[in-house]
Amino acid sequence: MHFITRLASDPTLCSYPLPLNGSLTWHRVGVSNAGGASIWRTNLCVKNIPEGHILVPSYVCTEKGYQYQWQARTEAANQTSVLLPIGPAQADSWTGFVPAKDDAHALQSKIDCWHSRSNIEELDLQLTLYIPNSDTLPNRDLLTLCIRPVDQQTCRLPTSASAVAVPRPAPVSQMQADNEIARRICSPTATAMAVMGDQAMKHWSEAVEQCYDPNTKAYGKWPLAVYWASQHGVLGCVETLYRWDEALTVLQAGQPIVCSIRFAKGQLPGSPQEQSGGHLVVLYGVEFDHKEGFALVMDPAGATIDSVSRRYPLAAFTEAWLNHRGAAYLFSTKLTKHHGSDPVSAKANDHGH
């Protein structure tokens, strides 16, 4: 099964590189007595999900300090799995969110997504959104839900006619950070490179700070990376791609892609790491030497700034990325100034679990 839906309150304001499927329908849940905060809810229903699939829900908006929480309920057994809320790194969670739990036997919670442990006839997903400083809906937001097999055996490789590249992002090496965290911060480092253009280094430490998750004590939680970008006016979501077509479309739109990869010892030639159980890199192009294809990648694990830019054999990179989960951070093609941050040009430009 391959399923994707992309929704927005106002699709005309998204500038997302892949097609949107429609508009979000929100229902007001309540208004807080303090500061005019508002609470909203939307629901999705998906049927006939097979065993062995990954389900990745994602949401962003550009409201300052927003928070949200996903819940999933299987209709047949009336069992619920609730993910932890997402919000600003230093903020307390809104008290109206429900405690996280994993009581749905058909689903297994994986920090920021679910895996199906058996076939699911019908699954109801609920998103609760808390906006602390506004009693109106956000006009710039984006919701995606992706479902695909956790693992797939083959993926058709691009041909030389599909060669494409965006301007190479400014390099940032995670290994230049303090030794205590240097090997743990690939996600915020890759995200800063993908969305901050030539200002990536300037925003790097902030990205690292905001992507720290006190619950897992890690920096690689997928939604925290796109949340940080959203607070700079950049709409982006986590998707699980399963073929190169979508990735090439994003690159052709001028946007690099943050890819979640994993590989066994020696299986990604040219990598600064011998192996990895979970790592984030920035894909900015695909090129060919005659018929041999290569992925053009900014790998934050490079020991120095000069060694961040890499060229990986396309087949090996595909095995490391699209054949297992295929998770990626995708961002809007028109990036705007927000909350006093630097303007970012779309043309200039760890996961540990």
Q: Which domain holds residue 183?
A: 160-331
The mean per-residue pLDDT over the stretch 70-77 comes to 85
What percentage of the chain reaches a pLDDT higher than 90?
84
Predicted pLDDT at 90: 85
Domain end residue (candidates: 95, 114, 149): 149
| 20 occurs within a structural domain | yes
Specify which residues 109 forms β-bridges with: 114
What CATH code is carried by the domain that includes residue 20? 2.60.120
Do both 14 and 67 map to the same domain? yes
| Sign for the pseudo-dihedral over CA of 347, 67, 57, 201 | positive
Nearest to 3, CA basis, from 197, 145, 115: 145
Give CA–CA dist 155/76, Å, rounded. Answer: 34
Domain end residue (candidates: 149, 173, 189): 149
| 317 occurs within a structural domain | yes
| 339 occurs within a structural domain | no
Tens digits of per-residue pLDDT, 194-215? 999 999 999 999 999 999 999 9
Residue 220: partners with Cβ closer than 8 Å, 6 or more residues away? 184, 186, 187, 211, 278, 280, 350, 351, 352, 353
- Categorize the per-residue pLDDT at 168 as very low, low, confident or very high, splitting at 50, 70 and 90: very high
In the three-class reduction of DSSP (H, G, I as helix; E, B as strand; rest coil), residue 12 is classed as helix
What's the number of domains the chain is made of? 2
Nearest to 195, CA basis, from 6, 13, 45, 341: 341
Contact between 185 and 151 under an 8 Å Cβ cutoff? The reply is no
Q: Dump the DSSP string for 167-207.
A: PPPPP--GGGS-TTTGGG-HHHHHHHHHHSGGGHHHHHHHH
Write a three-state SS string for 300-324: CCCCCHHHCEEEEEHHHHHHHHCCE
| 80 occurs within a structural domain | yes
Residue 56: partners with Cβ closer than 8 Å, 6 or more residues away? 112, 113, 144, 145, 146, 147, 222, 238, 239, 240, 327
Tens digits of per-residue pLDDT, 82-131? 999 999 998 999 999 999 988 778 999 998 999 999 999 999 999 999 99
Do both 168 and 268 map to the same domain? yes
> Does 353 have pLDDT greater than 60?
no
Domain end residue (candidates: 149, 182, 197): 149
**Whether pTM exceeds 0.85:** yes
The mean per-residue pLDDT over the stretch 295-318 comes to 98
Give CA–CA dist 208/206, Å, rounded. Answer: 5
Contact between 279 and 272 under an 8 Å Cβ cutoff? The reply is no
Phi, psi of 23 (to 5 degrees): -100, 150
Do both 118 and 185 map to the same domain? no
Give CA–CA dist 124/232, Å, rounded. Answer: 31
Tens digits of per-residue pLDDT, 174-196? 999 999 999 999 999 999 999 99
What CATH code is carried by the domain that includes residue 317? 3.90.70.10
CA dihedral 52, 258, 251, 339 (to 10 degrees): 120
